[in-house]
Amino acid sequence: MAESDWIKLALLCLAGAASPGLSWLLILSMAATRGTDVGISGALGHGLGIMVFALTTVFGLSALLLALPELTIALTFLGIALLIYFGYQLVMAGDMPLSDKLTTQGGFIAGFSIAIVNPKVLVFFLAVFGPFVDPQHTVQIQLAMGALAGGIDASVYIGVALAGRALKQWLEGGRILVINRLIGALLISSGAWIFVQEISNFL
């Protein structure tokens, strides 16, 4: 790819990672309630998930989803279910639906899982990342594209995790519970909105 294409791709990846959404809210809350190490581990896991998504897009996910549109629908509804589940847990408990003794390994797995089933990630890679995919690219270029997307994402979410640490130091425990409940309400609302949009596509 031309240097200008790499710059465009990097800026798009940065914009995608920096735009608040499900992953932002959960990594932020994870760091605030479970500690910075867990939050940063979750950020690294999220970056790996994004890299996997980028590589599968480069190596044929777009073509697969075009051939099997029902797979896109399944992934989208799985993401909606995750949004509503996490939102419900946050609203009811005011706390992250993760173990109080969550290890950094558990945070890594949680971050990876969030990235894989997030509807926003699926839309981003199909609509934004997909046009940069070219079957004539060498394997090295394709791997570099995946590494670029994952590295930028992990860097942004490490920043989000550090913000969660600041949030924990600034807020009292009770206020964090209130913030989490508000986040939960937003997640449920987002899930409901995406669900309505998906249903309207069938009508």
Q: Has residue 157 got a pLDDT over 80?
A: yes
**Residue 150: what pLDDT?**
92
Query: Is 12 inside a domain boundary?
Result: no
Q: Has residue 148 got a pLDDT over 90?
A: yes
Band (pLDDT 50/70/90 cuts) for residue 97 is low
Contact 119, 198 (CB under 8 A): no
Q: Has residue 78 got a pLDDT over 60?
A: yes
Integer Cα distance of 195 and 198 in angstroms? 5
Query: Is 33 inside a domain boundary?
Result: yes
Whole-number average pLDDT of the chain: 76
**Residue 156: what pLDDT?**
92
Query: Is 114 inside a domain boundary?
Result: yes
Band (pLDDT 50/70/90 cuts) for residue 168 is low
Integer Cα distance of 5 and 98 in angstroms? 40
Q: Which residue do the tokens 């798009």 mark?
A: 12
Integer Cα distance of 199 and 196 in angstroms? 5
Q: What's the average model confidence in pLDDT over 122-128?
A: 70
Give the chain's domain count. 1
Query: Is 16 inside a domain boundary?
Result: no
Query: Is 5 inside a domain boundary?
Result: no
Query: Is 4 inside a domain boundary?
Result: no
Who has greater pLDDT, 202 or 36? 36
Going by the DSSP 8-state scheme, the letter that residue 101 receives in this structure is T
Q: What's the average model confidence in pLDDT over 70-78?
A: 69
For the entire predicted model, the pTM comes to 0.67
**Residue 121: what pLDDT?**
76
What is the residue range of 83's domain?
21-202
Q: Has residue 108 got a pLDDT over 70?
A: yes
Q: Has residue 95 got a pLDDT over 60?
A: no
